[in-house]
Chains A and B, each alone.
Chain A
Amino acid sequence: MIEDYTRRFVISAAALMVASRSSLFDGFRSERRSIRVGHTTAYSGPASAYGTIGRTEIAFFRMINAKGGINGRPVDFITYDDAYSPSKTVEHTRRLVELDKVDLLFHQSGTANIKAISDYVTRRGIPTLFVATGASKWDDPARYPRLMGWGPSYASEAATYARHALATVPGARIGLLYQNDDFGRDYLSGVREVLGPGAAARLAAVSYAVTDATIDGAISSLKASGANVLIIAATPKFAAQAIRRTYELGWRARRYLSAVSTSLAEVLRPAGLEAARGLISAHSLKDPSDKAWARSPDLIAYRRFMAEWNPGGDPESAFNVIGYAAASSLVAVLSRCGDDFSAENIMARTESLRDVEIPMLLPGVRMTISPTDHAPISSTRMMRFDGAHWELFGGLVDSAAPSRGAPSEHAQ
């Protein structure tokens, strides 16, 4: 009996040793200190698709280091798998801050996961830059002075569609197809915000679950509701189904498509390019599968990076573009920090970025951050699908403006 416990104790002790080995070697690092960047995302579990972004970022910083690092310093990109579980995110974030002693946290994913660490990182004063969630509540410098998102929020994107529909479709009645999770519900609250108190009469919202096999029923009931506008707030697989189904039904509603599903390779070609004609979306990033950008220098550089440093990744995937552009945004910050990577200096440099061009952003969309504006990429371009390409129309849409000052907890 005792022998069993002794053996189990030895195994446990060995496990502890391995788990904490990172702290044992802290003292032996080179004197030209690396820039330590902490990151968590879901490499396993229900949302493991996001792991693609993390892998692209690992490859990106390998490339940066091979080219001599940033201001002569290598980047130590430390990333852990939280399997999308917020309690695991808390554990790994504490490990990054307390054991790995990172200089900043970068592009961690999941709205609930970020909420779980928001108080901790704020107490600790760790710069937590460009978190990867569509929630708009992180643009709140008074409450979270060192935390910020990156791209436009889902709610503001939905508001853009609703406003455009009200302005251009006479007697607009909006049908909303949304995914029944935090992603989809942010669209619902964005549309409701624009419609105001009369929302119930002008809005028919039908949800689907990611586990559903098909959304044909949802599309039929939206059509039966008499809507003449359809906002498709869906992830790629379901967006393709919705585009196809509306086309087959001959439903002539004005269709808006969520920006996460605008990829030609992943959504529009599977749905049928003819079925996709006339779709409208608002995006801030270039789609690598759209031939319109084939000759632009940032797309050529992106393709070269994917071929050379991330050959296992699909260059057409929107996730890889996000990883590439977000990592490029961080390089823009760090390269302005000189030789001082203290939290104060990182925040000061971050908050003084004005109209910075980032590779893979659509023409005119730029990154701007200030002590009162923590929405780095707050503008989008509207675009219409002409059967072959997304054609940009109109000027910049400042998507942060309308939700600023509104209650920050959109989905609640």
Chain B
Amino acid sequence: MSDPAHARENLVRFLGTIARPGQSLDGVADDVNLIDAGVIDSLAMVQIIVHLEQGHAVDLLAGGIDPAELSSIGGILRAIQRSTP
């Protein structure tokens, strides 16, 4: 995995593309639930999964990831980190 700051920057850039219109990720802390905070919609979770599958070879069906983890920046980064050899 690339350095944590770079990984976070890439993730935030991606999340910015699926955020609700007018919503910004600037200043959003790593532990904030993005759905509860209204930054992304619940069904946009599928786009996060596609991003993880295609960009980071994360296989959700193989298990090991708690769906709740994918609701925050920190959780997604941890999921990526665990799946990286």
Pair from one complex: no
Binding site for A on B (CB under 8 A): none
Binding site for B on A (CB under 8 A): none
